[in-house]
Structure 1
Amino acid sequence: MRPMAAAELDAACRIVGLAFADNPSNLATVRGDQEKATRAMEQGTRIIKLGSPFSHVLGAEREGRLVGILNAAEWPHCQMKLGEKLRTAPMMIRTIGFNLPRAFKVMSSRAKHEPSKPHWHIGPVAVHPDEQGHGVGSALLRAFLEGVDQQGTPVFLQTDVDRNVVLYQKFGFEIVSRETILDVDTRFMWRAAR
């Protein structure tokens, strides 16, 4: 586990795209087109998450190769402001076309659940499909949370995947709210400061 190097941005975005290709919210946003969901996550992650000056990206390496990432942003830089949404809209239109209103609906619905007090917001956590099930995601979470615990700061995240809810609960997260967005059950989870 280590900070992601700037030269690894392409590899990190590719990992996120592959890891989230079958994510329920992403598929709902692009009306089930898995190839478009992969591209949307790759490009969206590049501009909105990993390319943000407020992102802190932890990478997992195996045998000299990046195999997973955990992105986090500290409040109040967790959600995109209107200007950022407008700046990213042309790229998003090229990637997902007429599905852009659906993407903005997902983003605005999720933003309503963002706590308005100091915290870290985790997301995305992505592991290359070939490496999933081998503890990489858990190792990324453990490493990140150890640092956050030293700060005494709470952590927030959202997920729409049942197995991820179970994983996050093992690390002390609790569901604090939920919303069905584009027919997808999205859980919002909070981990109190340690």
Structure 2
Amino acid sequence: MAGFMAGGTGPASTADIPEIAGLLARAFDDDPELRAFVDGQERQKRLRSYLQAEACLTLDTGGVIDLYRDTDGQAVGAAVWEAPSARGMLLQTVRYGPAMLAAVGLRGLLNWLTYRSDFKRFQPARPHWHLVRLATDASARGQGIATALLRDRLDMIDQAGGIVHLEASGPSSARLYERFGFAAVGEFTLPPDTVIVAMTRPAHQHAITARHP
């Protein structure tokens, strides 16, 4: 993944962040997990602001964002990966915190404070990668883009013996990740009735090609 090829994956840079935020905001417009934290008036605008700040924070703390570009060079898929070293980087969190807070508002902040411990309690104790977002543009779904984004990055993580964790928005989403060796380690519910499945993929998995049903 040294760079982009036509119809392939590659790592994003800070210059790509506005495009990434737009792609993610469209893809997650109806996402039940994000609705618990970003909802109400001008939601799409605030969602884009939140996801842009989140992307900036990810890159600034050593994480990576992988993009899938189609043959015309348009970004049609993205995966946001928080690095194991990201935790505890207070200065970077403070830098982007105001933008994220403005986007979620008081209600979203209260929900985050209420459910933050649920997200944390199922995460591995050891340093690990965190798959924060995985999205495909509506115009390109069904083409294996999410599979390509997962396969390529997991290959690299496996070579370093890394652990990966994520939160899937419900059982149907969890089934995709099960094909890549993720296993459910717990679940919790966000308002109003969204089941979040916490999933972890252990280190040193060698056969990472998705198993097709």
- Give the TM-score normalised by the residue count of structure 2: 0.78
Q: 1:60 corresponds to which residue? A: 68
1:150 to 159, 181, 187: 159
153-162 or 167-176: which moved more? 153-162
Q: 1:49 corresponds to which residue? A: 55
Deviation of residue 35 (structure 1)? 4.9
CA 1:79–1:69 in 2, change beyond 3 Å: closer, same or farther?
A: farther
Deviation of residue 158 (structure 1)? 0.6
Q: 2:4 corresponds to which residue? A: none
2:111 to 96, 102, 107: 102
| 1:29-87 per-position Cα deviation (integer Å, ceiling 9, x unaligned) | 345x4851x33432222223344312211110102111111111222425775x66655
Q: 1:117 corresponds to which residue? A: 126
- Whichever residue aligns with residue 42 of structure 1, its letter is R
Higher relative contact order (CA 8 A, sep 6+): 1
Answer with 1 or 2: which has the greater Rg.
2
For the 8 Å contact 2:67–2:77, the answer to whether it is kept is yes
Task: Work out the CA distance in 2 between the residues paired with 1:93 and 1:6.
Answer: 21
Quote the RMSD (CA, aligned, Å): 2.4
Q: 1:28 corresponds to which residue? A: 36
Matched, 1:71 2:80: yes
Task: Work out the CA distance in 2 between the residues paired with 1:159 and 1:78.
Answer: 20
Task: Work out the CA distance in 2 between the residues paired with 1:8 and 1:90.
Answer: 21
What secondary structure is seen at the aligned counterpart in 2 of 1:29?
coil
For the 8 Å contact 1:59–1:70, the answer to whether it is kept is yes
In structure 2, stretches of 5+ residues that fail to align are 1-8, 206-213
Q: 1:91 corresponds to which residue? A: 99
Task: Work out the CA distance in 1 between the residues paired with 2:23 and 2:157.
Answer: 24
1:163 to 172, 185, 197: 172
For the 8 Å contact 1:21–1:35, the answer to whether it is kept is no
Deviation of residue 112 (structure 1)? 3.1
For the 8 Å contact 1:106–1:181, the answer to whether it is kept is yes
Task: Work out the CA distance in 2 between the residues paired with 1:107 and 1:133.
Answer: 33
Q: 1:19 corresponds to which residue? A: 27
What secondary structure is seen at the aligned counterpart in 1 of 2:86?
coil
User: How high is the sequence identity, in percent, across the aligned residues?
Assistant: 26
Deviation of residue 141 (structure 1)? 0.4
What secondary structure is seen at the aligned counterpart in 2 of 1:68?
strand
Task: Work out the CA distance in 2 between the residues paired with 1:57 and 1:45.
Answer: 12
Task: Work out the CA distance in 1 between the residues paired with 2:137 and 2:165.
Answer: 23
What secondary structure is seen at the aligned counterpart in 2 of 1:137?
helix
Task: Work out the CA distance in 2 between the residues paired with 1:107 and 1:127.
Answer: 26
